[in-house]
Chains A and B, each alone.
Chain A
Amino acid sequence: VNVTGGHAGAHRILVVEDDEDVRGALSAMLQGEGYDVVEAVDGCEALQRLRGGAPVCLILLDIFMPGMDGWAFRAEQMKDPALADIPVLVITADSAAATEALARGAVSALTKPVEFDRLLRVVEQHC
């Protein structure tokens, strides 16, 4: 187990994204780099994965999703001491939402379409 980031589950990443094609692309990219990837289609499923599965080192979070959106997920995450410390990387099509996400404590925020190299640099800082 890699403990460089100080987080449990150092090589596992949760991808929360409603668009299947985007989610698939992100997963494929990260898996190609050797990470374990867990997928969720909205905030609700993301919480289930976090609470029911192995720990993760980073959460890639879309903001605008049907069901529980990114903001609601962040609120739930912060309320749960077991989850609050997991770093969150926001990926959104809306640049205003990206800025807002940084203000709300995301470690980084990227706008879609995401450049893979930039994404990888952020991921490597945390996993």
Chain B
Amino acid sequence: MLLRTFTRMGISLTGPSVAGGGDVAFVNAAAIDPAHVVQFYEDDAFLLESMTRFVGAGLGAGDAAIVIATPRHRNGLEKRLGARGVDLRIARRQGRYIALDAAETLSALMADGCPDEIRFRAVVGETIERAARGGRGVRAFGEMVALLWDAGRRDAALRLEGLWNELAERAQFSLLCAYPMHGFNREADGESFLQVCGTHGDIVPAESYTRLTDGRERLMAIGHLQQKARALEAEVAQRKRAEEALRARNATLRALIQASPVPIAVIEPDTTVRLWNPAAERVFGWSAAEVLGRPIPIVPEDQRAECRRVHEVLLTGESFSGVETHRLRRDGSRVDVLIAAAPLGSANGPPREMVLLFEDITERKRAEVEREGLLRTAERARADAEAASRAKDEFLSVVSHELRTPLAAMLGWVSVLKTGATGDRATRALDTIERSGRAQAKLIEDLLDVSRIVTGGMRLDLRLVDLPAVIREAVDTIRPTADVKGVRLEARLDPTAGPVAGDADRLQQIAWNLLSNAVKFTPAGGLVEVCLERRDDDVRLAVRDTGRGISAEFLPFVFERFRQADSAVSRRTGGLGLGLAIVRHLVELHGGAVAVASNGEGRGAEFAITLPLTPFKVDAARSGRAPRLLDGLGILVVDDDVDTQESLRILLEALGARVTTAGSVREAREALRRLTPDAVVSDIGLPDEDGYALVRELRATDRLRPIPAIAVTGRDAGQDAGRAVAAGYQVRLDKPVDLELLVAAISQLTVAPQGASAAPGR
């Protein structure tokens, strides 16, 4: 019966070349009539032959045929039917041949991506009804399902098969569906293959089976197929195991990559990122989502070309490690890295990807730089120390020379005297001995001053000083030396240039040092000019000479200790090279400044110092506008006399100071525990403990040591001056306090760049 049905339908189970006949054992005996047959095929020619027989037999029997097929299959069919002498034009005219495009028809059936029952009935159902007019039998060939299958939309395909079957229950027609075998290539397709078969009444296998002619061959083929199936199953099982192992290994690798503290990236030759682990996210600040599928964003502009070169090397199969370079973070900051890189090869063929491992060495580099910096600093410190040590050695050698030379002269002349020299020779001996002795005393004085400067022990006994008189004295002292040497000495001293608050002896020392220096370095016939002038806020003393001058290189160092332009000079001119250093220190202690200018060697030099005028004079000159001279300064006043306390408080506060008072050392101690004043003004004669005790305590405490202190003592000043300074006061003033002088002292001591207690080495 099945054979009859198939034969009637024109479908041959034995292949297109063998008409009729053949074994029936392979076909389901329950095949219905009219049938819903599925035809599997491997190539188009076989399908077309099948279609041709199916349609041709129907048309030949007077039935109608509906062909819903791809254009290629429709054309093939029509060409073959024409070759068999079927006149399709007549059949069309009679409504017995209806050809529809499979894709177009399918799209007409679809609603929301799924075959729609109502549309299906409207389109396909009505076409079948139309074809069946006049009681004609209908044969339909459909490929829409195959199109859906091919597109991977298997659910939709099976749904469409269902619609065909539902339609078949209402309308009488035979349906031939065609599925290409390549739609079932995967092992997993077995299930769907059976599903497709299940939606059809009859199944025609593809040609590799139907082509076989006799039963033995077919049984052999079935046996072979069974063998193949077993082998395939075994193969599949093995592959599954291999896949499982691979999956496990991949999982391990993935876990390693995820957990790795080392940033790892995989990139393609065009730097597209394929892998980016959490360490890379952490170090570079780019999340995997941001970089995957994009060019790697961490290569600095100036390294792109180098990178491309490296990639080319990698792609030849080379790998490398330990390349030190830098990359950029997301925020543009720099990461120092060591890079290791290797090509990721396919088993055969050139590598297509590269794996990059980065070691973040930013911290290590920073530490290295720091260490180098420390080394350099230490190196510098050592060099400085060595230079200082050399300077000191040289200085000692100079000191030795300068002390021994006058000693040699003195002792030499003493020897001469001892031999009983008389007359001119004796006079010369005594003159030389006296002069050498004085020179040596001066050297020793200078050395002691330098020692005081270094240890911070230099103190001033501040008074109001008539500066022109002091300078005049210094000029008079030096004049005989200048006369002997043939150097002219001219002085222009402005009598209004003063008064200044200062230590008269030290101010004279300053002037004398500058003058003797000028005379020393000026040859016979030269000129030394001294000019003292008053300016707005200060007085300026300039000593100009026409002497040897100073080279530009040495100019910055003239005020440094132990420095003379060179050792030979020191031998030619004598002296220790300390005078100017002492000048600078003394001037700065007075709140003033030093300056030097020279047009170069052989062209003379000018040394100038400026000293602040006492503040009240400045005030007066500024016609009533009263700058608050002590603005913001904190001052501790210690005096057991309440009236003195109060008057000092009122006067100092009027000038802008914040004044704290104490009646005893104990109270002062209390106050100093709470605050760190800018200056301390203390009486010496206090109950219980005196002002010496207070200042000793100040100097013994780190926090309080730098605070300038001013002692206020009674009438027997002369004796107290030395003692107050020795105890640690910078300045001592007479009682009753001259407020002008006190303010000058406070403002100088708090403004001076280096206080009397300057650190050694300044």
Instruction: Give the CA-CA distance A25 to B435 in the complex, in Å.
Output: 14
Q: Which of these, B397, B406, B407, B413, contacts A28 with CB under 8 Å?
A: B413
Interface 9-mer from B27-35, B167-175, B415-423: B415-423
Task: State how many angstroms separate the Cβ of B289 from the closest Cβ of chain A.
Answer: 79
Closest chain A residue to B418, Cβ basis: A116
**A25, B572: Cβ atoms under 8 Å?**
no
Contacts A32-B419, A113-B410; A21 near B572 (Cβ below 8 A): no
| Docked complex Cα distance between A91 and B406 (Å) | 14
Residues of B within 8 A of A113 (CB): 404, 407-408, 410-412
Contact residues, A1-56 vs B (CB, 8 A): 18-19, 21-22, 24-26, 28-29, 32
Q: Which residues of A contact B421 (CB under 8 A)?
A: 28, 32
- B407, B408, B419, B428: most-surrounded residue (chain A CB, <10 A): B408
Contacts of B407 in A (CB 8 A): 112-113
| Count of interface residues, chain B, beta-carbon cutoff 8 Å | 27
Partner of B401, one of A26, A64, A66: A64
User: Would you call B408 and A112 a contact (CB within 8 A)?
Assistant: yes
B408: which A residues are within 8 A, CB to CB? 19, 22, 25, 91, 93, 112-114
Known A18-B571, A24-B432; contact A94-B397, beta-carbon cutoff 8 A: yes
Contact of B401 with A94 in the complex, beta carbons under 8 Å: yes
Contact, CB under 8 Å: A24 / B428: yes
- Set of chain A residues within 8 Å of B428, measured between Cβ atoms: 24, 28
Inter-chain CA distance A93–B411, complex, in Å, is 14
How many A-B residue contacts, CB cutoff 8 Å? 81
B429 within 8 A of A: yes
The residue on A at minimum CB distance from B407 is A113
Interface string of B386-408 (1 = CB under 8 A from A): 00000000000100110011111
Docked complex Cα distance between A93 and B405 (Å): 7
Q: Kindly provide the distance from the CB of A27 to the nearest chain B CB, expressed in whole angstroms.
A: 9
- Return the chain B residue nearest A23 by Cβ: B409
A126 to B416, CA, bound (A): 21
Chain B residue nearest to A65 (CB atoms) is: B571
Apart from A25-B411, A25-B412, A112-B405, 14 more pairs, CB < 8 Å: A21-B405, A21-B409, A21-B413, A21-B436, A24-B413, A25-B409, A28-B425, A28-B428, A28-B429, A32-B419, A65-B571, A66-B568, A113-B411, A115-B411
Q: Are A111 and B571 in contact (CB under 8 A)?
A: no
Q: Given A18-B571, A64-B571, A65-B571, is A25 in contact with B404 using a C-beta cutoff of 8 Å?
A: no
25 A-B contacts, Cβ less than 8 Å apart?
Answer: A19-B405, A19-B408, A21-B406, A21-B409, A21-B413, A22-B412, A24-B428, A25-B408, A25-B413, A25-B429, A28-B412, A28-B413, A29-B416, A29-B419, A32-B416, A64-B568, A65-B571, A66-B572, A69-B568, A93-B404, A112-B404, A112-B407, A113-B404, A113-B408, A116-B412
Within 8 A of A (CB), among B410-452: 410-413, 415-416, 419, 421, 425, 428-429, 432, 435-436
Chain B contact surface mostly = helix
Q: Chain A residues near B435: list those with CB within 8 A.
A: 21
Distance (whole angstroms) from the CB of A32 to the closest CB of chain B: 5
B404 touching A66, Cβ below 8 Å: no
| B416 neighbours in A (Cβ, 8 Å) | 25, 28-29, 32
Residues of A within 8 A of B568 (CB): 64, 66, 69
In the bound complex, residues from chain B placing their C-beta under 8 Å from that of A21 are: 405-406, 409, 413, 432, 435-436
State in angstroms the CA–CA spacing of A63 and B401 once bound together: 11
A28 to B407, CA, bound (A): 16
Q: Choose among A26, A93, A94 the residue that contacts B412 (Cβ–Cβ < 8 A).
A: A26
A89-120 vs B, CB cutoff 8 Å, 1 = contact: the mask equals 00101100000000000000001111110000
Q: Which of B397, B409, B569 contacts A22 (CB 8 A)?
A: B409
Chain B contacts of A91 at CB under 8 A? 408
- A19 pairs with B415, CB closer than 8 A: no
Residue among B419, B421, B571 facing the most chain A CB atoms (10 A cut-off): B571
B571 contacts A94, C-beta separation under 8 Å = no
What's the nearest-Cβ distance from chain B to residue A21, in Å? 4
Contact string, B569-597, partner A, CB cutoff 8 A, digits 1/0? 10110000000000000000000000000
Minimum CB–CB distance for B547 against chain A, Å: 15
CA distance A64 to B406 in the complex (A): 15
CB distance from A30 to the nearest CB of B (A): 10
B410: which A residues are within 8 A, CB to CB? 113
CB B423 to nearest CB in A, in angstroms, measures 12
Query: Interface 1/0s, chain B 361-400, versus A by CB < 8 A?
Result: 0000000000000000000000000000000000001001
- Contact residues, B522-580 vs A (CB, 8 A): 568-569, 571-572
